[in-house]
Structure formats: structure tokens, C-alpha cells
Amino acid sequence: MKKVIKYLAIILGVIAVDQLTKGILLYLILGRVPVFGAAFNLVPFSYIMARVCDVFNIVFTWNPGASFSMFRVLGETAPLIIIFATGAVIGFILYYLFRRGDAHERAALALIAGGAIGNLIDRIRFGAVIDFLDFHIGTHHWPAFNVADICICVGVGLYLFNWWVARRKKLNAQKGGK
């Protein structure tokens, strides 16, 4: 039971920080935090809010596609397709998180699940995800992202690193056993 609580705390913590940062951003723009609404009716699509340094801005942008604006070409059906696909992936990750794997895998999966749920909340509420972190070099910008995206990327990185370490251990054990 302690294991479940620990990973649920990671998931809920990621969701809370993600939604809090997005809520602060909406409050700064609108003077309120809407519960639901069509994203594009709430605020303009994209604009720079603050230049932090030469390579980083705080911006406001709606991402109607998936990660890094993928699937934007699906048009109006994209949010529904992405909502159902994301829900299925989250279900699989949660099943795997609580049924299999070691502690390192579970921590990584909890980060991924928390980030995915954070972005799913935006999709259900607004039909798009709020992105606001903008890194750039001159006029070349990395796609804007948010806290949930960071947690997903870190979780995937940790999961892959754990897989690589486990594979190396297995290979070393096989070499030593021959």
C-alpha cells in the first residue's frame, strides 16, 4: 500500500504543479481562471508575455496538437482523437505502474502519467494544451512547452536509462556466467 501512495503522490504532485503554473498564467492574462471554455475564445493564440533572458521567454500559446504540436493537421477532430488516445495510454501506464516493474521504473512511469494527465485536463477543459516555456537561439525557437511536458520527457529519459542499466547488468551477468 505504501508503494501505491508514494507513486500516487508523485502523479498528483506533477498534476498540481502543472495545473498551478497554467492557472497562474491564465490569471495573469484574463484576471480569472476559467473552469471550461473553448481555448481560442479565451485568449489570443500566442504572444510573448515576458522576455526572461537572451534564450528564454515566457509566452502564452495553445497547442491543439500532441507533443510539440504534432497532429495539428487533423483539424477539429484532433482534440477528441488525442483525448481518447491519451486516456488509453494513461490507462496502460497506470496498469503497468501498479502491476510490474521496479522502483526506478515506477517513479519514471509516475512522472509520465502525471504529465499526461496534466495535459489531458487541459484538453478536456479547453480543447488544447497551454504551453508557456519558450527557449530559443536568435529567431530559432524550440516548440513551447509546459511543466507536464517536462515531467513526461524526464520520465521517459529515466525509464530508458533504467532499461539501459538493467540490460547492461543482464549482459554482464551472462558474460560472467559463461
The SS3 of residue 61 is strand
Closest Cα to residue 62, out of 135, 116, 131, 6?
Answer: 131
For residues 118 and 19, is the Cβ–Cβ distance under 8 A?
A: yes
For residues 4 and 98, is the Cβ–Cβ distance under 8 A?
A: yes
Point out the catalytic residue in the list 18, 122, 131, 134: 131
| Angstrom distance (rounded) from CA 80 to CA 82 | 5
* Grid coordinates of 13: 504532485
How many angstroms separate the Cα of 56 from the Cα of each of 79, 95, 132, 144? Answer: 28, 37, 10, 10
| Angstrom distance (rounded) from CA 20 to CA 122 | 12
Centre a 10 Å sphere on the Cβ of residue 70 and count the other Cβ atoms it contains.
13
Closest Cα to residue 154, out of 109, 89, 100, 92?
Answer: 109
| Angstrom distance (rounded) from CA 111 to CA 77 | 28
Active site residue 102: no
For residue 137, the model assigns a pLDDT of 92
Point out the catalytic residue in the list 18, 122, 134, 149: 149
Active site residue 131: yes
Percentage helix, strand, coil for the chain under 3-state DSSP, each rounded to 5: 65, 15, 15
Strand partners for 57: 51, 134
For residue 118, the model assigns a pLDDT of 97
CA 139 from chain centre, in angstroms, equals 25
For residue 16, the model assigns a pLDDT of 98
Low-confidence ranges of the chain (pLDDT < 70): 1, 39-40, 42-48, 66-76, 78-79, 101, 177-178
For residue 178, the model assigns a pLDDT of 53
| CA-based end-to-end distance of the chain | 40
